[in-house]
Structure 1
Amino acid sequence: MMERGSLAELKAGWLLLVACAIGVGCSAIALPFYSIGPLTKPVEAATGWARSEIQFAILFSSGLGALTSPIVGWLIERYGARRVAMPSLVGVSIGLLLASFATTLEQFWAGYAAAAILGAGSNPVLWSRVVAGSFEKARGTALGLALVGTAFIAMLLPGIVALAAPSLGWQGALRLIAALPVLVALPVVYLFLHPRDTETAKQATVARTGLNTRQALTDRRFWILTGSILCGYLAISGAGPNLIPTLSDRGFDSAAAAGIASFYAISMIPGRILSGFLMDRFWAPMVACVVLLLPASACLIISHSADPTMLALSCALLGLAAGAELDVLAFLTARYFGLRHYPQIYALSYVALASGSAVAPTIFSRIYESTQDYAASFQTAAALFVAGGLLVLALGRYPVLPTGGDQNR
């Protein structure tokens, strides 16, 4: 049973959680990343571009997201989350709309790059800061509920592409996706994104507790967490966008491939919520370790199986990890380093996450092009999951964090 205080926090902030969930689902990290997998084969068929060239767009999108995330952390501290989020959502729409008019690879990449730059303030750095500062007793659960928006968008986009691409082409499908931040997220964020972290003296004290950025960067736990997250996101980001192409190559038609791959997106939802709930109650690194070890076996199954039931189960296990990773980074950053400089510290670890997200799809596609099979890619993902899961255990026990202006802890 959830403690009464935790439940009261969630009830009081449910509209804020809705705004964060929709905002992160329409962010510059979610829409470009989760659109590229379903779009890969339609774009390939229409243009003749290689799969690795198409998925190279993620390097521009997530890679630039990595570079801009420390700046976003500073902007949030200076101007507040709401003022940063709203123009950024518009920027995501503009970038993806530009990509939909591309006639060359360079223009396609430029559109994804524009989405990353103009939409930088919509990335998880912002939404996780809002939630971490607004919730204390139910922080893990709240992070899971807020970040579940990426799971819903991952589940929604393959259907949008499958329905729209046959009649509207990949360009029309991408334009529908580009409309989501402005038509769906922007009104909700405008109405309901009102952070609650200054409402009480206790919350204000919590917000002043923790390490500064310099202290975090000289703490071995920062690099352990960052290394674990990098391993996990290299695996997730390499495997996820290539699920539908892999299934198609196994002989499944587009509808069947999308149906099997949908288990990946569906299981992200319980992955988000359950991981946050468990981290509120148990030692979070152990929860993170289990979440990362489970999909290692799933990747080995995907690497060679053609059985739809086993593939669906494996996609579900992979989705659990994809659902939990953002929660894990957000929760462990707050728990080990505090909230005093949370946006900046989280943003620096987020560089590793976004970098993994940027390079992995292209690396996995290149492996496919050299072997004409995805087996080696998924075996690599399995090894990365194991490495990330074991590494996070080295974080050790939760620290006692300094409060206020104590700079020497």
Structure 2
Amino acid sequence: MREGTVGAELRAGWLVLVACAVGVGSSAVALPFYSIGPLTKPIETATGWARSDIQLAILFSSGIGALTSPVVGWLIGRFGPRKVAIPSLVGVSTGLSIASMADSLGQFWSGYALAAILGAGSNPVLWSRVIAATFDRARGAALGLALVGTALVALLLPNLIANAVPELGWAGALRLVAAIPVIVALPVVWLFLPRGQAGHSYHPAKEQSGFDVREALTDRRFWFLTASILCGYLAISGVSPNLVPALSDRGFDAADAASIASFFAVGMIPGRIASGFLMDRFWAPMVACGALILPAFACLVLNGSDNPAILAGACMMLGIAAGAELDILAFLTVRYFGLRRYPQIYSFSYAALAIGSATAPTMFSRIFERTASYEASFGIAAVLFLAGAMLVVLLGPYPDHGPDSRAAA
């Protein structure tokens, strides 16, 4: 690979990268998921609702996201990313605002469900589609740089909420989160997201290479990839929202627990960027395997230490895996199945990711309620990470999709 070509592509498309990073960070996946952890204990204290019931909101949010993702894939193919993204960002704000006014669990869940429905087009299916069609030689690096938006949200949101709750209460803090898509993301996306199907280097002919949906769904590699992603996201989504509650239960105050857990987000940033650059240079399933083995070790560390520095390091290792996962899914979908029906094929695998994200927080909270400890949850997560690592290496050699095949070689 010629470094000059990669650099030239990134420089030419940097405004697209900014729009995608801000958009995915303000999406119906990122904001609900990364806000629920630091909000759990304040909501529990104020309302008396059980932790597992509070985190059930993610089941409504991500679960509905899983159901809507194939529809979103079709809408993107029919209308283009821009016409889907802009109203969806408004939808995220609307749903979270409704959740912030809840005086019952049903209303709280309904707000998160509305954020998922009205904001469905803000999810990574859309942003990765723009990147995949805009970049060629630098596709992996561009995916990593664009999807770093979720890492920045994971880094900043817990401390923003921790500082807002004493002054505004949990509802005011959630309203602050709800304002982000409209106040921050919408102007950036309006200005910089391309008005066509993609960005500066978009070539419609490239989309003719690759699998159609039926071919992909009957290919064993699709199911190896999907199963690997599901295992990884069950583990990540079960552990990460419970980091702050778990640390608080060990005696750390809210600010210290949030600070230690913030290293999860610190790890996401190099995880996003490094995974993209490495997949541009090496066999991507092996990169993915390494990214999943690392957090398995971190889960064992979380079970065995009370040292703040060691716990912060373990949170950072988890973050590296979380940062890499979305990049890996997007990159491997293009690399193994091509661009021909990318939004539709990606959306089916993304549905598995969303199911993991939806169900794991409540499952892990239920385990805590039964055992009064997070040790079993962290042990289960370690096993899931290792299973995902074994599955992804079964993908085998890259197929040849003609001219597009060189993009990730």
TM-score w.r.t. structure 2 length? 0.97
AA in 2 matched with 1:152: L
AA in 2 matched with 1:213: V
Structure-to-structure mapping, 1:292-371, within 5 angstroms = 292-371=292-371
Q: Cα offset for 1:203? A: 3.0
AA in 2 matched with 1:135: F
- Which residue in 2 is equivalent to 1:62? 62
Q: Cα offset for 1:292? A: 0.4
AA in 2 matched with 1:281: R
**Counterparts of 1:208 and 1:25 in 2: how far apart (Å)?**
30
Matched, 1:51 2:28: no
Answer yes or no: is the 8 Å Cα contact 2:89–2:186 preserved in 1. Answer: yes
Q: Cα offset for 1:403? A: 8.0
Stretch of structure 1 that moved more, 61-70 or 302-311: 302-311
Structure-to-structure mapping, 1:7-406, within 5 angstroms = 7-194=7-194, 197=198, 203-401=203-401
**Counterparts of 2:204 and 2:4 in 1: how far apart (Å)?**
22
Answer yes or no: is the 8 Å Cα contact 1:134–1:196 preserved in 2. Answer: no
Residue by residue over 1:75-130, the C-alpha shift from the partner in whole angstroms, topping out at 9 and shown as x without a partner, is: 00110100000000000000000000000001000000000000000000000000
**Counterparts of 1:199 and 1:361 in 2: how far apart (Å)?**
39
Q: Cα offset for 1:2? A: 6.8
Answer yes or no: is the 8 Å Cα contact 2:81–2:197 preserved in 1. Answer: no
- Which residue in 2 is equivalent to 1:407? none
Q: Cα offset for 1:400? A: 1.1
**Counterparts of 1:348 and 1:268 in 2: how far apart (Å)?**
24
SS at match of 2:110: helix
1:92 and 1:153, CA in 2 relative to 1: closer, same or farther beyond 3 A?
same
SS at match of 2:191: helix
Q: Cα offset for 1:401? A: 2.3
Q: Cα offset for 1:305? A: 1.6
**Counterparts of 1:360 and 1:402 in 2: how far apart (Å)?**
39
AA in 1 matched with 2:307: D
Answer yes or no: is the 8 Å Cα contact 1:147–1:272 preserved in 2. Answer: yes
AA in 2 matched with 1:264: F
AA in 2 matched with 1:144: G
Answer yes or no: is the 8 Å Cα contact 1:205–1:403 preserved in 2. Answer: no
SS at match of 1:349: helix
**Counterparts of 2:203 and 2:7 in 1: how far apart (Å)?**
17
AA in 2 matched with 1:208: Q
SS at match of 2:209: coil
Q: Cα offset for 1:303? A: 1.9
AA in 1 matched with 2:337: F
Number of aligned positions between the proteins: 403
SS at match of 1:280: helix
**Counterparts of 2:234 and 2:213 in 1: how far apart (Å)?**
25
AA in 1 matched with 2:313: L
TM-score w.r.t. structure 1 length? 0.97
Answer yes or no: is the 8 Å Cα contact 2:289–2:389 preserved in 1. Answer: yes
Q: Cα offset for 1:196? A: 7.1
Answer yes or no: is the 8 Å Cα contact 1:211–1:402 preserved in 2. Answer: no
Question: What is the alpha-carbon root mean square deviation over aligned residues?
Answer: 1.4
AA in 2 matched with 1:188: V
Answer yes or no: is the 8 Å Cα contact 1:102–1:108 preserved in 2. Answer: yes
Identity across aligned pairs (percent)? 68
Q: Cα offset for 1:156? A: 1.1
**Counterparts of 1:218 and 1:402 in 2: how far apart (Å)?**
21
Answer yes or no: is the 8 Å Cα contact 2:141–2:276 preserved in 1. Answer: yes
**Counterparts of 1:153 and 1:199 in 2: how far apart (Å)?**
27
Q: Which runs of 5+ in 2 are unaligned?
A: 405-409
Q: Cα offset for 1:319? A: 0.2
**Counterparts of 1:328 and 1:244 in 2: how far apart (Å)?**
27
Stretch of structure 1 that moved more, 50-59 or 393-402: 393-402
**Counterparts of 1:211 and 1:401 in 2: how far apart (Å)?**
9
Q: Cα offset for 1:199? A: 5.4
**Counterparts of 1:301 and 1:197 in 2: how far apart (Å)?**
43
AA in 2 matched with 1:279: M
AA in 1 matched with 2:285: P
SS at match of 1:251: coil
AA in 1 matched with 2:325: E
SS at match of 2:137: coil
Q: Cα offset for 1:198? A: 7.2
1:257 and 1:199, CA in 2 relative to 1: closer, same or farther beyond 3 A?
closer
Residue by residue over 1:54-75, the C-alpha shift from the partner in whole angstroms, topping out at 9 and shown as x without a partner, is: 0000000000000000000000
After the TM superposition, which segments of 4 or more aligned residues of structure 1 sit over 3 Å from their partners? Answer: 195-200
SS at match of 1:303: helix
Q: Cα offset for 1:197? A: 4.5
**Counterparts of 1:116 and 1:2 in 2: how far apart (Å)?**
41
- Which residue in 1 is equivalent to 2:407? none
SS at match of 2:203: helix
Answer yes or no: is the 8 Å Cα contact 1:147–1:326 preserved in 2. Answer: yes
Residue by residue over 1:344-397, the C-alpha shift from the partner in whole angstroms, topping out at 9 and shown as x without a partner, is: 000000010000000000000000000000000000000000000111000000
